[in-house]
Amino acid sequence: MANTNGMQSAPLKFSKMISEAEIAKRVKELGAEITALCQKESVIAVCVLKGSFVFYSDLVRAIEADVKSEFLGTASYGNAMQSSGEVKLTLDLTTSIEGKTVLLVEDIIDTGLTMDFLTKTLAARKPKKILTCSLLFKPDALKVDFKPDYVGFKIPSDFVIGYGLDYQGFYRNLPYIARVESLN
């Protein structure tokens, strides 16, 4: 795989873990669950960038109710295969969430540090409530006590790529989730 400068990305050996069809089915199910919530109250769906953009776009289209879209940028991995443990906010919301129901949409929760940081940061802005939705959840990797409200798939503590998740900025375009076996 070549990047835009003509340089090669870090080649990985990987194997399919969750198929495109399995993802589509589960996203539709999550959309139906969240639709029930959105029919009771107004929801601001917040995409946690960068990794969740593919999941987020499919999820909001699976919600059969109006939701307001917002975006937050975070960084905790850099170019590594493990979280640095330090969460940085790289892009903030553009509208107030005071008194609103917020649905944070994340690609993966492993250590829980990013979602813990974001829920505490956003709670200071006085929303009505904060709910969380993650495509992938690694309960065995948690470093803080955190349980998402909506989960696509529970997975082991493997490093995964695809469907928005990356390694050094690459592999986000895979239509499925793959387990990284090794670096070449």
- Spell out the residues 6+ positions from residue 7 whose beta carbon is closer than 8 angstroms to its own: none
What gap in Å lies between CA 73 and CA 62, rounded to an integer? Answer: 23
**In this structure, what token pair is assigned to residue 159?**
């490093």
CA distance 28 to 60: 10
Whether 130 and 123 have beta carbons less than 8 Å apart is answered as yes
Count how many residues are written for the chain.
184
Q: Which of 66, 110, 149, 166 is catalytic?
A: 110
Q: Which of 125, 148, 129 has its CA nearest to residue 138?
A: 148
Token pair listed for 49: 């960038």
Is position 110 annotated as part of the catalytic site? Answer: yes
**Tokens, residue 92:** 């903030």
Q: Would you name the residues annotated as active-site residues?
A: 110
